[in-house]
Structure 1
Amino acid sequence: MLLWLDSSPFKEPDKVILKALNIACERDIRKLKYVEGILRNWEKESLFTLKEIEINENKPFELKEHEEIVADHGYNYGY
């Protein structure tokens, strides 16, 4: 976690890390690897400020063009 504080691309790493910790706690997943995964995802998506992260978090979920909605059992019947 200290590495994220010292050498991350985030503008305010302490606040961003706290945000990731809060998300993990809200989801009842108290594992450091999960928090690091959240941070890596934000870094990969070029979300470097708390404001960018919160804007992205509040976006409605959109399916990507190539994704399909699949039936309950995971079978794609083609209709």
Structure 2
Amino acid sequence: MHPNGNAHVYARYLLKTEDGAVIQIENEGVLSEDSGGFVTTPKFAADASGSYAWLNSGVYAGTLKASESPEYSVEITVFQL
């Protein structure tokens, strides 16, 4: 949480697809008071010669919501613009 009351989130993680491809994701955003979650701008890095290369050139927006019930989890939704 920033001193001005704004909250910021930043995460880097890997996603392994069912066909074994590994996609790097860098996701950054700010807290949206309207939704109670974060609005994010994820960026993808996939193998340029693989079947997910199209992710590298897209523009995306997303949401991130955390839950503590029944177990701590994070739900991430991504939209291609």
**TM tier, shorter chain?**
under 0.3
Say which structure, 1 or 2, has more relative contact order (CA 8 Å, 6+ apart): 1
| Higher-Rg member (1/2) | 1
Q: Per residue, is there more helix in 1 or in 2?
A: 1
